[in-house]
Amino acid sequence: MKCANCGHEMKASEKYCIKCGLPAFDTVSEVKKQPNAGETSADLDLGHVESKRESIGGKPPSGKIKETVSSYWQFIRENLNAPLARAQKSGPLDFVYGYITIGFISLLLALGGYIKISLWTSGWTDFFGYRTPFFETFFTVLFYGIIGFLAAAGIVFAVLKAMFGSNVSFHSVLGRFGSLLTVPLAISVLFFFFSFTGVDFILGFITLLFLCIIQAAIILTFYSFVTLTTAKIDSFYGIVAIYGIFAILIGLTADTFFRYFMFSF
């Protein structure tokens, strides 16, 4: 069986084309069909071409959305079941799912952080007041959350390239980091729901657990790639470089970081 998009020869057990990432059920079999009465070989070839066109771009938008949601949900379940094992597989669409996961985590943190600040400053009686500006708080946390996660993947990528001479791509790093972020995604869901309770002890525990697992995801992502290099530099100094860059970035954005993130969480 060949990929309908790029023509790469695929195995029957493969779910995606390893060359272009097209799902296997969008491919077209190369088995030749005998012409029926009134049909010519040219008619069959034309129909084969049309079937390829339909398989590549003929699906309605709703079908593509449903397919993407289903694939992403499978990605989440596989990662929650075995995060390290699934991250090592590095599927062709993992970097896309990484972007989506980062977006969801940042959204949940922004909503939960705003709710927590509102309850802390106003109390339940004035929850819907205007003491805490929604747009400023929500979009600031959302924006810096997305930038922070992408920066984490970017710093790991930069250290791997600059210090260890790895030929890894940014999307490969993001895909593996995104796989390991599925557990923090689940924890961010808990943070969002418990933010309505205003119980600082529970929220503090959830926040600490979230931050620890994020650090673990960064380190594991780095080590999973650095072990494939032949550089003579000890990988420990790669970790030092990663967190040294983080310290510089936090220092440059200290006002925003402590005003929104530390106060929210």
- At residue 20 the predicted structure's pLDDT band, cuts being 50, 70 and 90, is low
Residue 101 token pair: 């996961």
Tokens in use for 96? 């896309």
Beta bridge partners of 2: 9, 28
What residues are paired with 9 via a beta bridge?
2
What is the average per-residue pLDDT within 50-55?
Answer: 48
> Which one has a higher pLDDT value, 160 or 9?
160
Rounded mean pLDDT of 36-58?
49
Q: Is the pLDDT of residue 132 over 80?
A: no
Task: Give φ, ψ of 21 to 5 degrees.
Answer: 90, 5
Categorize the per-residue pLDDT at 50 as very low, low, confident or very high, splitting at 50, 70 and 90.
Answer: very low
Looking at residue 28, what is its pLDDT?
45
Q: pTM for the complete prediction?
A: 0.73
Mean pLDDT to the nearest integer, 51-55? 48
Nearest alpha carbon to residue 94 among 152, 222, 181, 217: 181
Calpha distance 265→33 (Å, rounded) = 63
pLDDT (tens digit, 9 = 90+) per residue, 172-209? 999 999 999 999 999 999 999 999 987 888 988 999 99
pLDDT in the model for residue 259: 62
The DSSP output letter for 24 is G
Q: Spell out the residues 6+ positions from residue 261 whose beta carbon is closer than 8 angstroms to its own.
A: 113, 141, 144
Residue 123 Ramachandran class (φ > 0 left, ψ -120 to 50 alpha, else beta): left
Residue 242 to residues 84, 111, 158, 222, 246, Cα–Cα distance (Å):
21, 29, 9, 9, 6
Output the average pLDDT for the chain.
Answer: 81
pLDDT in tens, 113-126: 888 877 776 654 45
